[in-house]
């Protein structure tokens, strides 16, 4: 028979074993349902977790839009699938504008939030929305009449033009919807309401997922619109997401509440956002344009090399979604802590987020090194494609541990409102280093695709080392926003 002391000891041990699990469940629940914590005062690790988890899921939801659309459209044939692919390429410019404007919005809203200035944060949010609506109107005015011509300029065949002109017109002229969705979610992230931004994309994706098969395939009472149905369902889903965002801002259930007095133009605030956003747009376009040229260089080595590289890069992009979440969390924490006059805490947030990112990407690197052929084999059975793709994954993953720091630090600069520094780093690393080195190794020295992959690896290492050095100088702490 157990003694009372033994029974009590066993009870304490049992409670101790349950407590950590209960704490983790409570923390996850808080991250998913939203937190009212002051991120400038709570435990740094807790703050990073509460922001990063919903941000990762938000990015996963954004990626899901394209996956769902292409899944259903693929059943319509090659022309419909090609239409989606070509149009996505045309939307790159809009994505650059959306991401750049989001950087400016997050930086200003986070800074005002850290300063305990909710009215200033709300004014910045409204100026961002007015700016976004203006840009969206310009995009519509240009793309609506010229969308079919733009599709033709992208090399679309007559059959693709016949199949996809309406799809392209809807997606491009309505791409202001994408911009506004990004922009308003940036407001929530800057304020620390990352869970709200995540739920917005959940709603938009559920609507898109339900409407896609109905409008593309003509299920039940719905008309069969083919590839055009994908554009209609995606636009409706994202539009409903925007309506939900505006509703939440006006009801003021989060950290920001918009009121009538915020509706007027404030050119000083708007100019500040534009200044930060302009460098953000350029920063993204430099990287994107470099990537396009890298694809063109890879294409010179044949279709197997292009296919292997494409599959590998898709896997890389998907695998680093958690890293982007950690970087976004660091950007918000930097902005808020600088606003609260805690520059050392802002720096600490970046190093902690980068450390967690290093652990994550180190694990991914090990996975790629061990199982790269199996991962590529999920998407292709061509041995040449598998060989090239596996080589690409393994070489790029060699820089992951160091690149983990570079990713977070670049986003930290943006969160501080210093978008010029990472723009210049991107310009040097992508255009002055990576592109010439890729051509030298791949073509001149005839290493083929492997030489291009080594150029990417070297560039990421240089970008990370440069970012770390500039970050340690601390000039970003004195950036006025």
pLDDT tens-place string over residues 363-404: 999 999 999 999 998 877 888 989 999 999 999 999 999 999
Rounded to whole angstroms, how far apart are CA atoms 78 and 82? Answer: 6
At residue 8, the pLDDT reads 46
Rounded to whole angstroms, how far apart are CA atoms 312 and 37? Answer: 39
pLDDT at 207 over 70: yes
Domain extent listing, the chain: 51-265, 283-481
At residue 21, the pLDDT reads 61
Average pLDDT over residues 438-463: 95
pLDDT at 62 over 80: no
How many beta carbons lie within 10 A of that of residue 265, not counting itself?
11
Helix crossing, 267-299 with 449-473: angle to 10°?
150
Assign 101 a pLDDT band (cuts: 50, 70, 90): very high
At residue 20, the pLDDT reads 63
Quote the Cα angle for 370-374-75, to 5°: 150
Q: What is the pTM of this model?
A: 0.87
Q: Contact, 207 vs 237, CB < 8 A?
A: yes
CA diameter of the chain: 87
State the Cα torsion 225-228-231-236 to the nearest 10°.
-30
At residue 12, the pLDDT reads 43
Rg over CA atoms, the chain? 24
Quote the Cα angle for 127-130-136, to 5°: 140
Rounded to whole angstroms, how far apart are CA atoms 399 and 421? Answer: 22
Rounded to whole angstroms, how far apart are CA atoms 442 and 297? Answer: 8
Using a 10 angstrom Cβ sphere, with 0-12 exposed, 13-18 middle and 19 or more buried, the burial of residue 206 is middle
The DSSP line for 369-383 is HHHHHHHHHTT---H
What average pLDDT does the structure give for the chain? 89
Could you tell me which residue, 333 or 31, shows the higher pLDDT? 333
Q: Contact, 311 vs 389, CB < 8 A?
A: yes
- The 10s digit of each residue's pLDDT in 237-279 is 999 999 999 999 998 777 899 988 888 888 899 999 999 999 9
pLDDT at 462 over 70: yes
Assign 17 a pLDDT band (cuts: 50, 70, 90): very low
Q: Contact, 330 vs 353, CB < 8 A?
A: yes
Assign 13 a pLDDT band (cuts: 50, 70, 90): very low
Assign 41 a pLDDT band (cuts: 50, 70, 90): very high
Quote the Cα angle for 408-195-359, to 5°: 35
3-state secondary structure of 302: coil
Average pLDDT over residues 220-243: 92
Closest CA to 276 of 95, 406, 416: 416
Q: For residue 80, what is the enclosing H or E element? A: helix 78-90
Rounded to whole angstroms, how far apart are CA atoms 180 and 163? Answer: 28
At residue 382, the pLDDT reads 86
Quote the Cα angle for 26-32-34, to 5°: 90
- The 10s digit of each residue's pLDDT in 114-154 is 999 999 999 999 999 999 999 999 999 999 999 888 888 87
Q: Contact, 418 vs 334, CB < 8 A?
A: no
């Amino acid at each position: 028979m157990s003694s009372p002391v033994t029974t009590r000891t066993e009870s304490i041990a049992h409670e101790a074993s349950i407590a950590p699990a209960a704490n983790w469940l409570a923390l996850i629940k808080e991250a998913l349902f939203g937190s009212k914590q002051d991120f400038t005062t709570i435990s740094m690790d807790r703050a990073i977790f509460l922001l990063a988890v919903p941000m990762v899921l938000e990015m996963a939801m954004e990626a899901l839009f394209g996956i769902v659309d292409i899944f259903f459209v693929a059943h319509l044939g090659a022309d419909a699938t090609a239409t989606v692919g070509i149009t996505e390429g045309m939307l790159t410019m809009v994505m650059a504008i959306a991401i750049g404007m989001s950087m400016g919005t997050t930086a200003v809203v986070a800074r005002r939030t850290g300063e305990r200035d909710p009215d200033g944060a709300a004014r910045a949010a409204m100026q961002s929305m007015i700016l976004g609506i203006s840009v969206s109107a310009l995009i519509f005015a240009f793309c609506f009449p010229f969308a079919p011509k733009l599709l033709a300029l992208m090399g679309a065949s007559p059959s693709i033009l016949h199949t996809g002109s309406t799809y392209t017109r809807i997606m491009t002229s309505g791409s202001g919807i994408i911009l506004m969705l990004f922009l308003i979610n940036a407001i929530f992230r800057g304020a620390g309401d990352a869970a709200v931004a995540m739920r917005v994309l959940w709603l938009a994706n559920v609507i898109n997922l339900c409407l896609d098969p109905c409008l593309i395939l003509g299920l039940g009472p719905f008309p069969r619109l083919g590839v055009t149905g994908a554009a209609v369902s995606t636009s409706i889903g994202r539009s409903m997401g925007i309506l939900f965002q505006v509703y939440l801002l006006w009801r003021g259930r989060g950290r920001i509440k918009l009121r009538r007095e915020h509706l007027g133009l404030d050119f000083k605030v708007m100019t500040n956002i534009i200044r930060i956003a302009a460098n953000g747009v350029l920063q993204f376009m430099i990287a994107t344009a470099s990537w396009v040229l890298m694809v063109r260089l890879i294409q010179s080595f044949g279709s197997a090399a292009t296919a292997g590289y494409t599959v590998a890069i898709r896997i890389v992009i998907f695998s680093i979604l958690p890293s982007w979440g950690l970087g976004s969390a660091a950007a918000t924490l930097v902005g808020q802590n600088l606003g609260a006059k805690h520059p050392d805490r802002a720096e600490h947030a970046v190093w902690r987020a980068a450390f967690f990112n290093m652990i994550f990407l180190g694990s991914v690197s090990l996975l790629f090194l061990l199982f790269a052929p199996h991962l590529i084999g999920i998407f292709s059975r061509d041995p040449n494609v598998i060989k090239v793709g596996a080589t690409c994954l393994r070489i790029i993953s060699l820089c992951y541990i160091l690149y983990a720091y570079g990713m977070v630090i670049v986003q930290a600069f943006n969160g501080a409102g210093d978008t010029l520094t990472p723009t210049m780093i991107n310009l040097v690393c992508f255009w002055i280093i990576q592109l010439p080195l890729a051509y030298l190794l791949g073509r001149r020295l005839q290493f083929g695709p492997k030489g291009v992959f080594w150029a990417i690896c070297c560039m990421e290492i240089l970008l990370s080392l440069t970012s770390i050095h500039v970050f340690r100088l601390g000039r970003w702490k004195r950036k006025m926003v």
